[in-house]
Every structure is written in C-alpha cells, then in structure tokens.
Structure 1
C-alpha cells in the first residue's frame, strides 16, 4: 500500500477541488497503479522522481515518488491546471538541504491559480519601493549577517538570503519570507527580530548535515522527512482516511493539527519533572501545543486520566471539538476520574466535584473555607451581593474601597487564597501583590463587610463560583488526606491568565505534585478576568520550567504590529509575577495594512461596515470567515438589525455555537479563542472603550488594573483577524487606539 506525505501550502484550497483531491489521494493510497489516476513520469524533468496524476479533466497533481526499501512513498506537492502542473513538475527538484538536512522543494516557475504555492525556494519578487521605509531597520544588517554567511552556516537559499538582507521595508522583507520554504522564513523572521543564531538553530533542530553516501537519494529524503524543521512543511498521512479528509477540508485554517514548529513539538512532547508554564502572544500556538500535549500524555501510558480545562464553557467546547479533530480515535472521558481525556470548563469541574463530594468531605471543606461545617451551598451568589453587604454594615470606608470590584478581588486574592476564616487571620495574612494598602482599622472595616457577605450567603444557601472552586479543592484535599485518589494523572490548562485564586486551589488539588502534573498555557496580555496571584502561593512550583512562544501564525505582520501597539505604554505581569513584554512578538505571515477610519455618525459607520462586508463577499470570502466585533451587548443587537436593513445578512452570536454561513456579530469578550479571515472592530469610540462603568469609583490600583483589562480586550479583538482588519468609530476615537 503506497505511503503519502502532504506538503503544506500557504494558500487555502479551492472549495471545488477539495473533494476531487481527497478522492485522488485516497485512491493513490489504495493502489497507485489504478488506471484512473494516470500517474505518469515527465519527459526530461530536472528531478526524475517527479510524477503527475489526474485530479480531473483540467487539474493535475504534482507528486514525487520515492522508492526506498518497502512500499512506494509519494510526496504530494499540490494540484494546478494541466499546463502549469506540467511546467512545475518539469522544473522543480525535491532535495535534502546539504547544510542542515532539511527536505526542500526547489521550484523553477511560478504557479497561477490552483490550491496554492508549492512553497519551495523560488525567485523572490523584487523590491517594490526604491526608498527605505521610515523607521524600518533591517535586523539582519544590524546583526552583521551577510548572504554568504546565511547560506553557508544556516543553509538559507542564496537568492532568499540576498533578498532578505536587501529588504528596505517590512513589506519587502515579508515578501521574501512569504516566498521562502517555511523553515527558512521562520529562521529569517527570528534572526531579523534579534534572536541569536544559536537559539534559532536549537529551536529548529538545525545542525550540520552528515551525508551518508551508502544510502540512496530516496532513502536520504525519506529519513530527512523526520527532521524537526521538515515537519513544519511536510506531514505523513497515515491510513486513517479521516486524517486526510480533515487536512483537505480545513486546509490552511487548521494546518496546526499536523504541522508543528519544532519548538512547539518539543513543548508538547517532552517529559518534565513538575509543573510547566508556556506563555506567548495571541496566535502563537499555545492552545495547539496544549491539545497535542493532551494527546501525548494520553497515548504515553494508557489507561491514564488527563484533564484539559479552560476558563469558559465556550472555550471548553472549542477544545473538545479540536481534540476530536486532532485524533478522532483518542479515548475521551465524560466522567471525571475515569481514563481518557476529560475536557471541561474549570467551573464545570468544580461543580462536578462539589456535587459528588460525600457528607464528610463537604463538612471538612466548609470548615476549611468558611469555618462553618453546616453551611449549605445550593444556589449561586447574586451579582450585587458585595454592594448589599457593604450597605448592610457601618464600615466607614472610602467609596473606592467599599465597592464591589475592590471587595471581590480582596476576597479572592487574600481571603479565599489563604483559607482565611476569622478576623484575626485576616489581620495577620500577607496582602502581597494587592495594589491598595490597608492599615489595621481599614482591614477591620473590610472584614466587617466580608462577614456580612458570608452571613448573607449562609442564610440564603448561596455561594459564588470562586467559593465553589475553593470548596471543591478542599474536598479533594480532605479525600487525599485519608488515602483517597486525586481525579487526574495530568492536568492541562488553557487561557490560564483568566483564572482566579479559587481556580488555582482546585487545579493544585486535582493532581498529585510530580512528573508532568500541570501544563499551564497563558498570555497575560489577554487577561480579561483573572487576577495577578503568584502560583507559588498555591503550591504550584514552576522553578525554571517556563518557556515563551513569540512567533504568531494567525495574524499578519501588519495586523500584529497594530495589535501590539495597543499594549504600548502599559506594564503587564505574568502569573509568576514577572514582567511580560510584547516587543519581540512577530508574525510568519504578511498582508494589507489595517484600516482605521472615523466617521461623523453612527449611520455612516454602519454604511462603511456594510461596504466592507459586501466587498469581501464579492471577492469570495465565506460569510462565516467575517467577524464584526463590538464592546457591548447593546451595540451587538444594534449592528445586527442595522446591517440587515442595509441588505447584509449577519447573525448574532452569544453563548451558542457559531455554526452558520453568514458573517457573525459578537462582543469582543465572546470572540476570545476564535479567529476570522476578515474582522471589523466596530464602534471603537471614546464612549465605549474603556467602558466608563468599569473604571469609575475605583482606587488607583484597581482603576489601573481595569484599564489594563480594557486594553487587553482590544488587543484580543484585534488579533482575531487573520488577513484583513478594519477599525471604525464615530465621533472621537478611543484613547486606547493612541495615535496612528
């Protein structure tokens, strides 16, 4: 039975070709001699291994046939109209890079339409501007690299190296990267951004290639396909037809399921002695790595119990869907504590554990968390519970301290995090990390409100989500103290920056501290809900097992530059309380500059949005690949009805799944974890961002934190765009947009 390897394309497959290519490759895997395939060699090709095959009457596939010991092995490059496929096949060569041993396609002519660029070394387009771009500094020149050095020491193609160093603008440099083999583009991006050559080589697994002359060229290519950098662009397609179908069906949008950067693969596969933290900007692949990590751990020692969790139910549903796509045969678990991968939101896990806890475990947990073993917790706390508690006692506090934001954060970060149950404990406990200082009288006053809050909840049998998480953790700890099992062997956390103290207590209680216990993926620049609480406070010790991803695979360089600028001037800290920077974020893709446009009226802004959506759809963009993001719910309903009135059919997305064919309108919060080809950030005016009620009446520290969250929200929204980003407002623009 022939083997097939797929070469990743930078372009999305044409919809009409998907089923035909799938049928062609499926038949090829079954029998490459089938007459309907018309697998034919070329007349006088540069590479005698090349073949073409019939996809339909107009399109032919380009393949390379290897004949190592055993079954024939085909490498599928792409499909193009007949004459173009013939020319590409005749002039291109598949080879092993003589410097580093990476498989590369060296192509001789440009394809036109079809399923995308072959992705091999090519003649890079000439510079588009005679003058340098203002403010652009080519980091390759600054670091002293020469074309000869990049060729001889790294294995970069000579023309690619020359053009990269000659680039005088971001547009020129991006054009070089876009037309280079993927590993070369990534290496150039890293070097231009200031990463050392040694680090680039280590992350890509590049070493000196030792040519084994006893092996045939086919054997060398087959072995070189296992090189970490080769796997960025070449993926072996197994016997599972669903795997092939998924790659063809989802194309470039979900290529991550098969193609991982060597650095990402290392984080997904390497065993560690304890907890591990992976940080990185939006689109750098943290979630991808988390999913692969879950599969690696589940496959390593079955039957094993793996929990994959995140902040919201919506994100958890997305993780479960992508987990099934990654490996449809992977054992999943719907019941906590059973073998397989259990995917659930963190609050859902807390409720499962607390609901299943025994009477003894509940009593012990209630004593540990509240100091009262008889309390009931059958209902959720009201949203205005803190305001009610503050208004029910004589506290004498300034309004900036007696408000729900400060009180809730104080309760989560200090009281719940440290298991405080009495006033004396609260007066002694450390408040490290809390921005607003409290002297002893103020602490006493705050405790009066906390007592009133707890008393009211106890009388009404209520508890907050955070309290349920803390109670669930305490119940698990009690169970373990009497010899009972923890419910997981490994826990993987996505979007960890949004977790609060109760969640961290629960995560620590889910699994015994030890080898591969906790894998934590987070981005502090996307913190919309969580708190800055050091992990060590919860018994989670990273101790050097922390790494950071900086290469963005989703967002174009132009859109990323816009998004990163939104973060400038603000200071962010990660969940280990270290300063988090964004200056080294970079993108592997290029595209048009974001459009920023202010309008005089709301109607004019809606007209502009309708024009953009209409243009995109006329150009062939799927409606579901267009997202219109707003700050508030009232804007969402207004935009939906107004666009529909303008003849643009759109749909509103709240908690429901985003299935459908029309463009979607949603809040920026709801868009977290999603991506679109085209995005409009609508209504980004001074009246909507930052939201006034989110920052009014707060003490300085809490106000600064609230502003950071608003800034992060805009950053999250901007990084949902893969290709085109449009930012609009009417009246005055938001202060968070800064200057152009």
Structure 2
C-alpha cells in the first residue's frame, strides 16, 4: 500500500475515504503527499515515486453545467474552473527549467461523469497539458492511470517541489552532521529533507479530530522509537514548528532531557531562522517543572544539590545500621521513591524494583523509608523549606489543585527514555484535556527509568508506535561497534533492543583507541589530534565535540582547550555561565565540550571521548562483575553506546587505563580523520 504523508489526506468526509481507498491500491514505492494550506495555490495531492517520478493531482468540484460551453475565455472574467486550469498550468511551468520534463498533471472531476470528462478533455487537455478523469473512472482504474502517467523529473525539480510545497520537511544544513563530509566538490551540495518515515512520523495527528467519537478522547499519544542518529530530534522540532504554524492560537511545548541539547538546538535553530514562533517553547523538563511548581506553591523551589543530599544521608543513616549501601546509592533510592510517586511504606514494600541493580529485603526497605522521611523532613524545615530535586515533579503531581498550572496544547518530549513516571504525570497535569503528547525515545540508551513499561505510567502506546531503524548521523563502523558493546553487556529482554538497519550506510572507519600514559597525556594528545584535524583536514571547531568523564578535571580540560583554541571559542555546556547560550553569542563556530552524563542528543562529525575510564577500563568492569552488579554493567554499556553514537564520521577514545578486552575489540588502534569536502570557516 502507498505511504500517505500525512496519514490523513486533505479532503474531507466521504470524498477523503473514496480518494484514499483508490490511492491505497498503489504499492509502497509510492508516496501520496498532501501539502498544507499556505498562501500560494498548490495542487491537492502529489504522487511521488523514487524511480517513476512525480504527478500533481487537483480535485475539482465544478459540475459540468458550470463549465463554459462557448469559446474559451470569451467572457470577461474566468470562471473558477478556468482559474484552476490557469493556476495549475502556471504551477507546472514554474517547476521546470529549459530542458527539463514538465510536471505531469491530473484533475479529478468529482461531479462529472465519464462522458462529460471526455468533452472537457477535448477542449482543455492539450492547451493546458493536463489529464482529466471522472470520479467513477478514478475509482475503477485510478491507480493504473497514475502509474502510466507518472514521469521522472530532475533532482533539482524534486528538491524544488519538496522545498516549495513541503518546506516543513526540509532540514537546514546546520542541523545535520553528515553535511560536513559529503564527497562532492560541486558548487551546491544539494538540499536535505526528512526521509519518508521521518516525515510520516512528524505529521501524525496534526489536525484536531472532526469525528465526535475521536474528539471525546482525553488526549492523543504517539511514540517514535529510533536508533541513535535516526532523526528523532529533527522529527520533534519539525513537528513542533508545523504545529505552531497550523495552530497559531495554541501553545506548543518541547521538553528535552538536559540543558546542553536545549542550548545546542537553540543555536542551530537560530542559524536558520531569526526567532522561534511565539507559541513554541523549548526547554528542559526541570526548567519547566520549576516554573509550574512556582505557580502552584507561590514561591521559588529550593532544591538540595546531590552533594548536600549525600552529606545529609551520611549523617542521618547512622540510625539505621541495616543500610550498607553507599550514600550515592541511597540517594538514588530516595529519588526512586519520589519518581514513582510512592506515598506510603506499604506501597514501597510492594513496589517493583526491577532494574535497580541491588536487592532490598523488607527490613532494609523499611529502613530506607524511614531514611526517606527523615531526609524529606529535615530539608523541609523552615526557614529554608528545601527538598530533593526528584521531589519537585512529585509535588506537582501531589498538589491538591492544578488549576494554577500553565497549560500546553501540544507537548513533545525528546529522549523520553530518560523520563520518570512522576515526570510524565506532571506533564499530563500541564496539558489541555484534548491536547497531544508526542514522544521520541531510543530504548538502546536506557528505557524508562528502572525498566518500567510505558503502560505502567499510564501511556498506552500499543498501535501508536513508529520504529526508526536507519541512522543518518553515524557510520556503519561506529554504529556496529557501539551495538556490539551494548549487546555484549546487556541482560535486558531482547525486545527492548532496537536493531538498526545498516543497509546503505556509509561504511566509515572503526572508532579509534588511543592509549596514553596519564590523564595529562590524554589531554595533550587530544589537543594535538584536534589541531591536526583543524589544520590539516579543514575541519572547523564546530565539527568537533569533546565528551569527558569523571577521570579528567573538567576545569583543567577547559582551560587547556581555551589556551590553544581561544577562550571564547570553547562552549562548555556544563559551565554555569554557558549552560544555556554560547560564550560569545550565536552565529559563531564553537568547539563544544560536554560531560558524558549530559551529552545525550548532541552530535558532531568528530567526537573525542576522554576521562571515561569508568565506562571502559578493565578494572572498573572487573570490579562490577565481582560485585555481581549486572545492572550497573548494563548501565555503563548504555552510556558508552550513547557517547559513541554522538559521532558522525570519526570517534576517538583516549584513555590512560587498560581497556576491557571486550570493549577494546570494537576499536582500532589508529586511523586518519576524515577530510571535509570544502574548507570550513
């Protein structure tokens, strides 16, 4: 069956049903495109076939009696039917340059019979280069006729048709990583568009339902599961901007997991447009939650840092000697209680802790609950009245009245695999009743905190999920290496793993492992590699991303990068002053630097991993295996998978410790960096 983009065609009522039924007879190599209503006149549908070309279709409701029977245009003003012919002809002429095949045209005469259409064809078909068909003939053989009259067009014409009729599907060059390494020395490297699956997903359920039954539903829900680099963020942003355009009186909210990707997305968008639409907000979940909490409780929330919370746990835990876990692990357990909206001890004793990585007996759970209450009570004492960060969304959910919350009509969540149950529940409270919720997730990076299911948090995604298996960001070599490491160390159900489709991917070079003598040696070799890439391979600083872990001093790394490349050319996403915007304003090329814990969603042509020994070293892996911490091993593998798949063309791992053999096998010892097709500035 043909692919329909969007899924619901533009016609209304019974007409839409009949037209879609006929077009559905086309095979899945055909794409039926319905353009959105804009200022310029456009045909009602387009049929696109990768090999056989394009066809534009207009539907006319003009009855035969309203079509001029006298000499063509003998009257002063053209009739609506004549205006349709003129517009269709002008549109077709505008799509072709000298030497190119004009776009084929078909007009479906909805209120004319076959004999009447024959008469119309005699008068108008040759003059306007258009084929006419009656409704009955369309139902009986429309698919066959379309297959016969489709005609190939040039690559330029295809790009022009997509860009002018479906501008929402175009990807700005600043938003794609592969653009930097296209082996093309022509003056123009072409234009980029969402693929069929991406565009189909972005345009699902954009219009409000007209059917009374559908309109009575609480809210609409869609989930896009995709491998790393499959374009999930592009889909979410494209959909958000399209919703804002189609519904200018409605509020569109895009929630992203961490601040660095929000800042990066904002920077990329501002390269292609002067400002976001007024009804679109892009922010992190906790920035949004902070605003909503303030509206509900009429004061600013005061959240204890992780270090402060761990110090408090270390002091209070002495009352419960049964607790032997480290302070950081106990803090994670307190967060688990908040994130799962557990309200009392009996519920905690019965709660599933699947995927937590360690077991707790009833006595230990009772002690944890007592510690949870003590920490919560101590932080909440006046005058400070503080709380754990994880308590903020819990408080939103537990509020007696949610009337003060600011409501969004459409919410889009990127990196939804990292959202906790309380986060989803808080978001639902901040949506209008008949709003839409659109989720993008990569189950390979980690799935639903604590291995929960979508259904368990009240999200029924069965039959409403689209899987994207093709990666456009990275190479076959890098994605294969990352998947190999993940599968070796994963104990999860294989159904949770999204197997990528490697067909047609650029082969690329294996990721590179650089063994160093010390942490400082890692930094020096990193700078040398980056200088060589910048100088010898014509790569700009914006083409490179440094992802660092806990084994390297972030400040030392930042200072040394600044000394070599210029202080205002390094954008450190985790520095308080530059978390939300670049150091010297937008419109400049920056070398980006991010902690591995906040790197999800970022991307670059060349990625350097440094100081991530906790994810790759043989000693760290052996220690986790000795403790039988299978969940911790899997979590590290998922984090490493995420870090590796940030790379578009080249990945370099620098380490001063021996790498675990099963991880080292996925890397090569040395390899040259790719060379940009055109010099970058």
TM-score (norm 1): 0.58
Report the counterpart of residue 196 of structure 2 in structure 1.
Answer: 262
Are 1:718 and 2:644 matched, yes or no?
yes
Report the counterpart of residue 478 of structure 1 in structure 2.
Answer: 401
Report the counterpart of residue 15 of structure 1 in structure 2.
Answer: none
User: Deviations for 1:158-189, whole angstroms, at most 9, x for unmatched residues?
Assistant: xxxxxxxxxxxxxxxxxxxxxxxxxxxxxxxx
CA distance in 1 between partners of 2:177 and 2:518 (Å): 40
User: Deviations for 1:124-171, whole angstroms, at most 9, x for unmatched residues?
Assistant: xxxxxxxxxxxxxxxxxxxxxxxxxxxxxxxxxxxxxxxxxxxxxxxx
CA distance in 1 between partners of 2:303 and 2:614 (Å): 38
Report the counterpart of residue 4 of structure 2 in structure 1.
Answer: none
Is residue 224–residue 232 contact of structure 2 (8 Å, CA) maintained in 1? Answer: yes
Structure 1 residue 519: Cα displacement: 0.8
The two structures, once aligned, show a CA RMSD in angstroms of: 4.6
CA distance in 2 between partners of 1:647 and 1:310 (Å): 30
**What are the within-5 Å matches in structure 2 for residues 52-131 of structure 1?**
69-70=89-90, 72-73=93-94
Are 1:669 and 2:629 matched, yes or no?
no
Are 1:397 and 2:327 matched, yes or no?
no
Q: 1:447 to 1:588 in 2, by over 3 A?
A: same
Are 1:349 and 2:291 matched, yes or no?
no
Report the counterpart of residue 331 of structure 1 in structure 2.
Answer: 277
**What are the within-5 Å matches in structure 2 for residues 283-322 of structure 1?**
283-322=229-268
CA distance in 1 between partners of 2:190 and 2:439 (Å): 19
Report the counterpart of residue 47 of structure 2 in structure 1.
Answer: none
Q: 1:614 to 1:473 in 2, by over 3 A?
A: same
Determine which of 390, 396, 402 is the counterpart of 1:466.
Answer: 390
Report the counterpart of residue 504 of structure 1 in structure 2.
Answer: 424
Report the counterpart of residue 634 of structure 1 in structure 2.
Answer: 552
Structure 1 residue 658: Cα displacement: 4.8
Structure 2: 5+ residue stretches without partners:
1-86, 105-142, 181-188, 207-218, 667-681
CA distance in 2 between partners of 1:607 and 1:247 (Å): 32
The DSSP-based 3-state class of the residue aligned with 2:425 is: helix
The DSSP-based 3-state class of the residue aligned with 1:679 is: strand
Q: 1:513 to 1:399 in 2, by over 3 A?
A: farther
Report the counterpart of residue 589 of structure 1 in structure 2.
Answer: 506
Report the counterpart of residue 371 of structure 2 in structure 1.
Answer: 449
Determine which of 142, 158, 162 is the counterpart of 1:235.
Answer: 162
Structure 1 residue 525: Cα displacement: 2.7
Report the counterpart of residue 388 of structure 1 in structure 2.
Answer: 312
**What are the within-5 Å matches in structure 2 for residues 363-374 of structure 1?**
none
Is residue 277–residue 521 contact of structure 1 (8 Å, CA) maintained in 2? Answer: yes
Report the counterpart of residue 732 of structure 1 in structure 2.
Answer: 658
Q: 1:435 to 1:94 in 2, by over 3 A?
A: farther
The DSSP-based 3-state class of the residue aligned with 2:319 is: coil
Is residue 257–residue 285 contact of structure 2 (8 Å, CA) maintained in 1? Answer: yes
The DSSP-based 3-state class of the residue aligned with 1:307 is: strand
Structure 1 residue 447: Cα displacement: 1.7
Is residue 562–residue 570 contact of structure 2 (8 Å, CA) maintained in 1? Answer: no
Determine which of 614, 619, 627 is the counterpart of 2:537.
Answer: 619
Report the counterpart of residue 178 of structure 1 in structure 2.
Answer: none
User: Deviations for 1:283-312, whole angstroms, at most 9, x for unmatched residues?
Assistant: 110101111221233333331122111122
The DSSP-based 3-state class of the residue aligned with 1:426 is: helix
CA distance in 2 between partners of 1:390 and 1:698 (Å): 25
CA distance in 2 between partners of 1:225 and 1:647 (Å): 40
CA distance in 2 between partners of 1:614 and 1:708 (Å): 35
User: Deviations for 1:419-451, whole angstroms, at most 9, x for unmatched residues?
Assistant: 41x434434555566554433322222222112
Structure 1 residue 456: Cα displacement: 0.9
Report the counterpart of residue 679 of structure 1 in structure 2.
Answer: 607
CA distance in 2 between partners of 1:327 and 1:564 (Å): 36
Q: 1:586 to 1:524 in 2, by over 3 A?
A: farther
The DSSP-based 3-state class of the residue aligned with 1:681 is: strand
CA distance in 2 between partners of 1:554 and 1:95 (Å): 35
User: Deviations for 1:517-538, whole angstroms, at most 9, x for unmatched residues?
Assistant: 2111111333499443333333
Structure 1: 5+ residue stretches without partners:
1-66, 77-88, 98-206, 333-339, 363-375
Higher relative contact order (CA 8 A, sep 6+): 2
User: Deviations for 1:192-225, whole angstroms, at most 9, x for unmatched residues?
Assistant: xxxxxxxxxxxxxxx9883455x9x6xx749x99
Report the counterpart of residue 210 of structure 1 in structure 2.
Answer: 146
Q: 1:441 to 1:296 in 2, by over 3 A?
A: same
CA distance in 2 between partners of 1:529 and 1:519 (Å): 15
**What are the within-5 Å matches in structure 2 for residues 144-293 of structure 1?**
210-213=146-149, 221=153, 235-237=162-164, 253=179, 259-271=193-205, 274-293=220-239
Is residue 652–residue 664 contact of structure 1 (8 Å, CA) maintained in 2? Answer: yes
Is residue 381–residue 457 contact of structure 1 (8 Å, CA) maintained in 2? Answer: no
Is residue 306–residue 341 contact of structure 1 (8 Å, CA) maintained in 2? Answer: yes
Structure 1 residue 551: Cα displacement: 0.6
Structure 1 residue 326: Cα displacement: 6.7
CA distance in 1 between partners of 2:301 and 2:175 (Å): 47
Structure 1 residue 355: Cα displacement: 0.9
Structure 1 residue 414: Cα displacement: 4.0
User: Deviations for 1:92-141, whole angstroms, at most 9, x for unmatched residues?
Assistant: x87999xxxxxxxxxxxxxxxxxxxxxxxxxxxxxxxxxxxxxxxxxxxx
Q: How many residues align?
A: 507
Is residue 689–residue 710 contact of structure 1 (8 Å, CA) maintained in 2? Answer: no
Is residue 624–residue 633 contact of structure 2 (8 Å, CA) maintained in 1? Answer: no
Structure 1 residue 620: Cα displacement: 1.3
CA distance in 1 between partners of 2:431 and 2:530 (Å): 48
Is residue 508–residue 538 contact of structure 1 (8 Å, CA) maintained in 2? Answer: no
Q: 1:439 to 1:208 in 2, by over 3 A?
A: farther
CA distance in 1 between partners of 2:359 and 2:174 (Å): 57
Structure 1 residue 467: Cα displacement: 0.8
Q: 1:68 to 1:274 in 2, by over 3 A?
A: closer
The DSSP-based 3-state class of the residue aligned with 1:560 is: helix
User: Deviations for 1:562-598, whole angstroms, at most 9, x for unmatched residues?
Assistant: 2222212132769xx9522445456633433433332
Is residue 234–residue 259 contact of structure 1 (8 Å, CA) maintained in 2? Answer: no
